[in-house]
Amino acid sequence: MSIVAIINQKGGAGKSTIAVHLARWLQKQKASVLLVDADAQCSSSKWLARLEQEISYQILQAPDELLDELPKLGESYDWVIVDGPAALSETTRAVILAADLALIPCQPTGVDLESASDTVRLVHQAQRIRQGHPKAVMFVNRAVKGTKLKDEAIEVLRLMPNVLVLDTVLHQRQIIADCYGQNATVFDLSGSTAGIARRELEQLFKKALDGLNG
């Protein structure tokens, strides 16, 4: 019933990591979920193919295909999570046009913050055409503990209109980086570091999905 697009033109922002973890978290809440991999690198579909838990996915990358199929898929699942490409392409534009929520992870560095405004520009274009849709939520990913960069990043991101910038951040955590190689998500790993990452992701996802109602 809701299409959540994880977008940011900047490579390494954490789109695939968030897409896979969000899909797995929603599945654990007993929701029906489909991940649509719209990135030519196919990282998230490869990741899901190797997970022990079965999560449905489809690879859709052509803009026309996305515009035709996403609304139909949105009716067949509780949640459709789209992993967006690392480019400001027609594919990204199509994903934004079909989404109910654009979720934008952003690293807290000057170059990432600057390029985030290009992604937000596409969101604003869609919002003007679609009477305020998609809703947009941004958050800082890969924040380093003990630095002030994340607070400064949040301040900069908040200058952009019509985007909810979360106070909740996702920190740089080795256990998150290790998940792909371990064919897992932090929701399936044991140990205290996985538990900490899990709680942080859960808090982030709850706040982010609240953005659908804002």
CB of 29 or CB of 182, closer to ligand ATP: 182
Amino acid letter for position 211: G
Instruction: Please choose which of Mg ion, ligand ATP, none residue 112 contacts, taking the beta carbon within 5 to 8 angstroms, the exact cut-off set by kind.
Output: none
Closest by Cα among 118, 48, 122, 40 to 81: 48
Considering the rule CB under 6 A, would residue 86 count as an interface residue with ligand ATP? Answer: yes
- Which residue among 45, 119, 141, 185 contacts ligand ATP (CB under 6 A)? 141
Closest by Cα among 161, 133, 72, 39 to 19: 39
- Which residue among 43, 45, 115, 185 contacts Mg ion (CB under 5 A)? 43
Instruction: Please choose which of Mg ion, ligand ATP, none residue 37 contacts, taking the beta carbon within 5 to 8 angstroms, the exact cut-off set by kind.
Output: none
Stretch of 39-47, 55-63, 120-128, 158-166 lying at the interface with Mg ion (CB under 5 A):
39-47
Considering the rule CB under 6 A, would residue 43 count as an interface residue with ligand ATP? Answer: yes
Stretch of 22-30, 91-99, 153-161, 170-178 lying at the interface with ligand ATP (CB under 6 A):
170-178
Scanning residues 4 to 33, which ones bind Mg ion (CB under 5 A)?
15-16
CB-count burial class (<10 Å; 0-12, 13-18, 19+) for 199: exposed
- Which residue among 61, 69, 100, 180 contacts ligand ATP (CB under 6 A)? 180
> Strands, DSSP E only, in the chain?
2-6, 33-37, 56-59, 79-83, 101-106, 135-143, 164-165, 170-171
Cβ-contact 80, 37 below 8 angstroms: no
Per-residue binding letters, 86-115, with Mg ion (x by CB under 5 A): ------------------------------
- Which residue among 1, 40, 62, 177 contacts ligand ATP (CB under 6 A)? 177
Measured distance CA(200)–CA(17) in Å, rounded:
14
**Size of interface with Mg ion, in residues (CB under 5 A):** 3
Half-sphere exposure of 214 (CA within 13 A, CB side): 17
Measured distance CA(168)–CA(45) in Å, rounded:
27
- Which residue among 160, 173, 184, 205 contacts ligand ATP (CB under 6 A)? 173
What is the sign of the dihedral through the CA atoms of 137, 126, 35 and 111? Answer: negative
Residues that bind Mg ion (CB under 5 A): 15-16, 43
